Amino acid sequence: MLLNLRDVTKTYPGTEAPVLRGVSFDLDRGGMLALTGESGSGKSTLLHLIGGLDTADKGVVAINGTDLTPLDDVGRAALRRGIVGVIFQQFNLIPSLNVAANIAFQARLAGRHDPARDRILTERLGLSDHLHKYPEQLSGGQQQRVAIARTLSPRPALVLADEPTGNLDEATADAVLTLLRDLVAETGAGLILVTHSERLAALMPRRLHLRAGLLA
Amino acid sequence: MQLMTLLAGLALATALWSGVQAINAEARASYDAAAATLGEGQFAQITARDGGAIPQATYVALRRAGWAVSPVIEGRLEGVRLIGLEPLTAPGGLGPVRLDEGADLGAFLSGEGQILARRETLARLSDTGAQKLLSPDVAPNTALTDIGLAQRLLGRAGEIDRLIVANVQPLTRASLAQVAPELVESPPPEGGDVARLTDSFHLNLTAFGLLSFAVGLFIVHGAIGLAFEQRRPMVRTLRALGAPLRRLIALMAVELAVLALIAGLIGVGLGYVIAAALLPDVAATLRGLYGADVAGQLSLRPAWWLSGLAIAMGGTAIAAGGALWSLARMPLLSGAHPRAWAMGRQSRGQAVAALALLGLAGTLAVWGQGLMAGFTMLGALLIGGALALPPLLTQVLRWAERLSQAPVAQWFWADTRQQVPGLSLALMALLLAMAANVGVSTMVSSFRLTFTGFLDQRLASELYVTAADTAQAEAIIAVAARDADAILPLLSAEVTVAGLPAQIYGARDHATYRENWQFLQAVPAVWDVLARGEGVLVNEQLYRRAGLDLGMMVPVGAGLTLPVLGVYGDYGNPIGQVIVTEDLFRSQFPQITALRFGLRSDPARVESLRVSLRNEADLPDTAMVDQAALKAMSLAVFERTFTVTTALNVLTLAVAGFAILMSLLTLAAMRLPQLAPVWALGLTRRRLAGLDLVRAIVLAALTGALALPLGLALAWALLAVVNVEAFGWRLPTYLFPLDYLRLGALALVAAALAALWPAWRLSHTPPAQLLGVFRHER
């Protein structure tokens, strides 16, 4: 079992109602699912908990059998470096590094940098002519491809994509998502795609729906 | 935060400027009062050729011969400068004193008499029987009274020090040579009055104040720039809703003006505190260096607090002008987000401007003439150096990025390079502060090193004595001939060389001079040639100002000119000096007898020599100064001279440190979108905070590396150009690596302290806040 969630609950300080209420689900290795829900339903929060970017108030979040909840900052940082990769809607590339350095950054942090793999990724994602450019010189679609390459370069066990095509037009979004799905499938990693698009959710073999912090 | 940055930066800058101007204004007011008291610089004066007193009978003779002169006697009474005038004959009455405010001329001239002075001066005088009258217009530490009373209080009955010559004289009067050949008339001193003498000192203070203001203005410019960048979306929205652009600009300008006024008032208040703290040291410095008396208490004069407010408003206008202009020209449909203000690329124009200014500084260094050219060169050097800092930093960081292997190191250098634009103003302020510290400390330390050696040369005699008259002088010689190892008379007279006022000294040929004096340049066997009466020595001031050189002829008396044999350093002396042999001096000035002597003695026997002089020559202790005391006094004056500049140095460095702190805090919020992705990829907050701390130290270290050569260039400019133009003498430049290391360490500590709080805040930033960067609109 790659991912195991049991009764995960999360409440943000200053709010009364929990953002997540007793969420439980599993994901096998190589498994893919779409996580849908309306704005404020807790989709991104759930993704952040799984990615070690935040901690749950109650429950278990386990990746490869390791419960993330008791991990400290150092432990969760190690998780983010090597095991889990997160793709954000806003791309969040490192502005001071060029495309090549951005792609290699996370893999180098994890000590698993493979230049050959980077070459393959850049070719598949159509970035070969842009390696020396900086993020501000790229279009939205190009930036998102760089973000995908960066996430996949260290061969993470689990890929979390938080509305990765939210800032792209429909045609580009479809192309990027198809590419992402195929690349993840090639590595045997798990994929959780957060989206509020029914059309994109339909591209994934499994679907979970969040409503007011509860899995419907 | 931005509001606090703006107010604090402007207030600090205004405080340093106002403080300096307050000191200058107080000093100048004192000089004006002193000049008004005795018409210094306005009237010719008659004095004795031998520098002694003028008998009252001679004054009467001159009056009878038709001379319109007024007697003056002057001395020290309980540390106060006591001046005795004759109000009925003094040109301009009693100077600034108003006789219609309680002063009774009859009471002034008769009975116990009256003494007019400031409150603090009157408080220092014990009861003399004379009525004490408060007169705030009298110069500081000075008391005016009738000449008769002054003669009695000073124990100098029948003596006059000088005669003030009225501008209008009867044509039929007999010549001075006929009536009193032992007297000499001197025109009003040009370039020798206190105000001019101290011009350079005050100019230095003003330059320092301006430097401090410039450093503070960097903070203000940064804060205003950031504030206006962040207002761009709001302005765009308001304009889209129909708000007139002119009204928006006017409102923002008014807002800035109000803030500038508030900050200016705070700054003026702080400036008062700074000036009040520094004024005693300044007053002591001016008294020691120039004999100028300055009031030890500060007055709230409009000249300096109005200039403080004006510079605060003007500085804000300069800092905000560009931002307001940019907003005024912004297209209505421009991007809603602030431009990457802190992430922009370096302006090529800035590098070009830096090169141009540094080129100007170099040109002025080679071909510039005069003090203004010297200060212009300094300004161009400092501003050019400051403008060159960001492009230089960017290039160095780019090299470091290329050389680094690890991903975090590579990101660190790249990210640091990206921070340079946002931190450039604070770093430029740090550069200026550090360079000023290096430059001024090098100058001061070079001066101290040279001065110490100079004092050892010039104060070689163990005891210096002053006789009251020729009879006492003879008694001193008799005692010294028996009890001292050598007697060195100090003979001097006033002369004019190449149109410049100078002093001529007659020196006895003695090993004291041969073994201790050092020359800047001299002919071979200079002392032997001088001893034969075949030439003169001149000090550096005269050498430079009169355009002299070895071998050039110098007038030394009636019809006698001699070549220059050597040039010697004479640090701290504002006027020129010529040295001839004692025999030659006596032949040219036979009427002058030596009243001052340097006595050589075994240090162990100095005290017994003093006792002998006291008992047998009736010489009071106040007329004897031993070498150690004289050196200590000279060094004390020297140290106090630079206490003021040292204080301003420290304050300027503190302002720069504050600038870094404010910049880091202001940029902290803008840094989150840059740091959050790196955190998400696997760096802990603690590590990011640590790297931010290291970044501040690295940038401070790189800035310090540039500050050192800039500061040394500044030191050279101060020693070789400004000092020479201002004082006429040049100091050798020494280097003090330990001092520079200490300053560098201090700067690193300051940068680390400034970065500590922002780093701590980053390390404790809740994940939710970092995640907020990733949230999007649904």
Which residue type sits at B435?
A: A
pLDDT tens per residue across span B105-120: 677 766 678 888 888 8
Q: How far apart are CA B200 and CA B24, in angstroms?
A: 11
**The pair of three-digit structure tokens given for residue B188, joined into one six-digit string:** 């009003």
Number of H helices, E strands in chain A: 7, 10
Q: Considering only CB atoms, which chain B residues are within 8 Å of A20?
A: none
CB of B29 within 8 Å of a chain A CB? The answer is: no
Q: Which residue carries 């040049």 as its tokens?
A: B730
CB of A196 within 8 Å of a chain B CB? The answer is: yes
Query: First and final CA of chain A: distance in angstroms?
Result: 22
Total number of domains constituting chain A: 1
CB of B410 within 8 Å of a chain A CB? The answer is: yes
The residues, any chain, with a CB within 8 Å of residue A39's CB and separated by 6 or more, are A196, B778
Residue of B405, B670, B681, B691 to mutate, interface with A, max A Cβ within 10 Å: B681
A 10 A CB-CB count for B467 gives 22
**Where residue A196 sits, what CATH number does that domain have?**
3.40.50.300
The residues, any chain, with a CB within 8 Å of residue B129's CB and separated by 6 or more, are B112, B113
**The pair of three-digit structure tokens given for residue B681, joined into one six-digit string:** 């990829």
pLDDT tens per residue across span B652-682: 777 777 777 777 777 776 788 888 889 989 8
* Residue B767: closest C-alpha in chain A: A54
Which among B76-85, B127-136, B518-527, B550-559 has the top mean pLDDT? Answer: B518-527
Are the beta carbons of A88 and B343 separated by less than 8 Å? no
Q: Considering only CB atoms, which chain B residues are within 8 Å of A94?
A: 411, 414-415, 674, 677-678
Q: At what angle do helices B2-38 and B627-680 cross, to 10 degrees?
A: 160
Are the beta carbons of B408 and A86 separated by less than 8 Å? no
Question: Phi and psi for B127 in degrees, rounded to 5?
Answer: -70, 115
Q: How far apart are CA B534 and CA B522, in angstroms?
A: 14
Which of B407, B415, B683 is opposite residue A108, by nearest beta carbon? B407
3-class secondary structure, B568:
strand
* Residue A38: closest C-alpha in chain B: B778
Q: Considering only CB atoms, which chain A residues are within 8 Å of B335?
A: none
pLDDT tens per residue across span B722-756: 777 777 777 788 898 988 998 888 888 888 888 89
CA distance, residue B668 to nearest chain A CA (Å): 16
Domain that holds residue A152: 3-215
B341-364 in b/e form (b: 16+ CB < 10 A) is bbbeebeeebbeebeebbebbeeb
Are the beta carbons of B417 and A89 separated by less than 8 Å? no
pLDDT tens per residue across span B260-307: 899 899 989 988 888 888 777 777 666 655 556 666 667 777 777 888
Categorize the per-residue pLDDT at B191 as very low, low, confident or very high, splitting at 50, 70 and 90: very low
Query: In terms of Cα–Cα distance, which of A180, A210, A213 is closest to A35?
Result: A210
CA distance, residue B308 to nearest chain A CA (Å): 42
Q: What pLDDT shows up at residue B375?
A: 81
CB B239 within 8 A of CB B248: yes
DSSP output for B736-748 = -HHHHHHHHHHHH
Which of A81, A95, A136 is opposite residue B674, by nearest beta carbon? A95
Residue B94 has pLDDT above 60, yes or no: no
CB B300 within 8 A of CB B281: no
The residues, any chain, with a CB within 8 Å of residue B731's CB and separated by 6 or more, are B443, B446, B447, B450, B571, B719, B723
Distances (CA, A) of B139 to B144, B291, B457: 9, 13, 36
Residue B701 has pLDDT above 70, yes or no: yes
Residue B90 has pLDDT above 90, yes or no: no
Q: What pLDDT shows up at residue B750?
A: 83
Are the beta carbons of B411 and A105 separated by less than 8 Å? yes
Sign of CA dihedral B51, B52, B53, B58: negative
A 10 A CB-CB count for B482 gives 10
Q: Considering only CB atoms, which chain B residues are within 8 Å of A46?
A: none
Query: In terms of Cα–Cα distance, which of B680, B687, B416 is closest to A106?
Result: B680
A 10 A CB-CB count for A179 gives 15
ipTM score:
0.87
CB of B302 within 8 Å of a chain A CB? The answer is: no
Are the beta carbons of B680 and A93 separated by less than 8 Å? no
Query: In terms of Cα–Cα distance, which of B613, B23, B653, B487 is closest to B281?
Result: B23
Q: Average pLDDT, whole number, for chain B?
A: 81
A103-132 in b/e form (b: 16+ CB < 10 A) is bbbbbbbbeebeeebbebbbebbebeebbe
Q: What pLDDT shows up at residue B400?
A: 95
CB B491 within 8 A of CB B586: yes
Residue B762 has pLDDT above 50, yes or no: yes
Q: At what angle do helices B407-458 and A99-110 cross, to 10 degrees?
A: 100
Residues B189-206: what's their mean pLDDT?
58
Residues B363-379: what's their mean pLDDT?
85
Are the beta carbons of B685 and A54 separated by less than 8 Å? no
What is the longest distance spanned by two Cα atoms in chain B? Answer: 109
B577-604 in b/e form (b: 16+ CB < 10 A) is bbbbbbebbbebbeebbbbbbbbbbeee
CB of A40 within 8 Å of a chain B CB? The answer is: yes
**The pair of three-digit structure tokens given for residue B742, joined into one six-digit string:** 């200490």
Which of A12, A38, A73 is opposite residue B768, by nearest beta carbon? A12
Which of B408, B680, B768 is opposite residue A86, by nearest beta carbon? B680
CB A121 within 8 A of CB A152: yes
B374-389 in b/e form (b: 16+ CB < 10 A) is bbebbbbbbbbbbbbb
Residues B118-139: what's their mean pLDDT?
83
Which of B408, B677, B778 is opposite residue A92, by nearest beta carbon? B677
**The pair of three-digit structure tokens given for residue B693, joined into one six-digit string:** 């701390």
Query: In terms of Cα–Cα distance, which of B255, B263, B253 is closest to B312?
Result: B263
Are the beta carbons of B683 and A104 separated by less than 8 Å? no
Distances (CA, A) of B29 to A35, B137, B274: 81, 10, 19
| B684-713 residues touching A, CB cutoff 8 A | 684-687
